[in-house]
């Protein structure tokens, strides 16, 4: 599993980790940075401004696509669960668990780019 780079634009720190993070020094949510983006040194004001201008739109686009996919999956699961055919108790439990998983993933995506 590869690490991802997260940056905090307030305290200008970077961190490579496996999951979404909160910046250690300022305790604010950090932003995911696409691996091809160059992260400037702390003193380079224009470099950090350019990076922020590139990171935010990409993250919003990624979040939008992920949330649309999750909404579609949730609607599909609800349709199956509410269909008139009788399902076994085990199948209903599996469907409800999948719905909870979709909801949890949606909350993570909303938190991910709320920064």
pLDDT at 40: 84
Asked if residue 65 has pLDDT above 90, the reply is yes
pLDDT of 20 above 50: yes
For residue 22, the cross-strand partners are 29
Alpha carbons 115 and 98: distance in angstroms, whole number:
27
Parse the chain into domains and list their residue ranges: 4-112
Task: Assess whether pLDDT exceeds 50 at residue 79.
Answer: yes
Cα separation, 96 vs 81, in Å, equals 8
Residue 1 has pLDDT above 90, yes or no: no
> Average pLDDT of 26-34?
78
Residue 53 clears pLDDT 50, i.e. is over it = yes
Question: For the purposes of burial, counting CB atoms within 10 Å of the CB of 26, is it exposed (0-12), middle (13-18) or buried (19 or more)?
Answer: middle
Q: How far apart are the first and last CA of the chain?
A: 25
Higher pLDDT, 70 or 41: 70
For residue 22, pLDDT beyond 70: no
Q: Judge whether 74 and 99 are in contact, CB under 8 Å.
A: yes
Diameter over CA atoms, the chain: 64
**CB hemisphere CA count around 90 (13 angstroms):** 0
pLDDT category, 86, cuts 50, 70, 90? confident
Residues in contact with 15: Cβ distance below 8 Å, sequence separation at least 6, in sequence order: 5, 6, 7, 21, 23, 24, 30
Mapped onto helix, strand or coil, the DSSP state of residue 68 is helix
């Amino acid at each position: 599993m590869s690490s991802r780079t997260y940056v905090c634009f307030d305290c200008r720190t970077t961190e490579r980790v496996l999951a979404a993070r909160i910046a250690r020094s300022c305790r604010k949510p950090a932003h995911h940075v696409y691996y091809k983006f160059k992260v400037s040194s702390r003193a380079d004001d224009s470099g950090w401004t350019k990076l922020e201008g590139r990171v935010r739109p990409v993250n919003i686009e990624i979040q939008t696509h992920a949330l649309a996919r999750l909404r579609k999956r949730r609607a599909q699961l609800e349709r199956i669960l509410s269909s008139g055919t009788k399902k076994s108790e085990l199948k209903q439990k599996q469907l409800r668990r999948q719905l909870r998983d979709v909801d949890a993933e949606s909350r993570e995506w909303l938190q991910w780019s709320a920064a």
